[in-house]
Amino acid sequence: MSNNSNSLTGKNIAITGATKGIGRATATLLSSLGANLLIGARNENELRELTSILSDNSVKVIYQHLNVEEENSIIEFLNLGITKLGKIEALINCAGYGSFNSFLETTTEEFDRMISVNLRGSFLTSRYFAQHMVENKSGQIININSIAGNTVLAGNAGYSASKFGLLGLTKVMQLELRKQGVYVTSILPGATNTAFWDHIDNYPDRSKMIPSETIAMNIVSILSQPDGAVVDEITITPPLGVL
């Protein structure tokens, strides 16, 4: 982790998909470092419970039900953050959905859902928050992608399509936004030990996966970069490589 992590004290950061996996680990770590948080997810009970826990760190934590497939939900999420916290200085897109089948067995509904959440949802959330950041001439956006975003894996037809698309989207965002003071990073984790795998049959040994807390530490490092450098993209793999 960067030694500059104390720079996060008082920083206003938004996290989507905040109640589970990488999102929850990141929210927990950031709040312990003094960041104020705007957290969103589909399950309001889980949001309320997490907010109660994180508020014990003497930071501001506000939550909003968020469905990244619905444009109005994203607008309400951003507006609440601006109203309650002021300038939003960073956005971490953790919301995601995966369903794994062979190309021939992938249903239209499964494919559409992954494109809608992983690609379209990240596009919409990033666009609205980036507009706010451009107005303020500064900001950071971190898109949580996947190793499936640049590596071909059998059984990942729809998931890879959404994540390859997200990687391309992120590269365009980097090119267009950096001159306006907004920096964008793509993180491509390998298999990470989260509840993502709970409904997936025949998953790899979860004890050999990356702990979600490790991804959170890398996110903190990116948010804490000293002046003069920007991290465009990092790939993080389990010690044994792609599982």
Q: Output the average pLDDT for the chain.
A: 92
Per this entry, what is the length of the chain? 243
Domain 5-236 falls under CATH 3.40.50.720: yes
Query: What does the alpha-carbon distance between residue 22 and residue 161 come to, in Å, rounded to a whole number?
Result: 21
Among the listed residues 63, 97, 159, 183, the single catalytic one is: 159
Query: What does the alpha-carbon distance between residue 97 and residue 239 come to, in Å, rounded to a whole number?
Result: 24
Residue pLDDT, tens place only, 42-80: 999 999 999 999 987 789 999 999 999 999 999 999 999
Query: What does the alpha-carbon distance between residue 184 and residue 173 come to, in Å, rounded to a whole number?
Result: 7
Residue pLDDT, tens place only, 130-187: 999 999 999 999 999 999 899 988 888 999 999 999 999 999 999 999 999 999 999 9
Cα-only R_g, the chain: 17
Question: At 99, phi and psi to the nearest 5?
Answer: -140, 130
Helix ranges (DSSP H) in the chain: 21-32, 44-54, 71-85, 108-114, 121-136, 157-177, 212-223
Residue 143 · residue 126 · CB < 8 Å:
yes
pTM (predicted TM-score): 0.93
Q: Find the mean pLDDT for residues 179-207.
A: 80
159 is catalytic: yes
Q: Where are the chain's structural domains?
A: 5-236
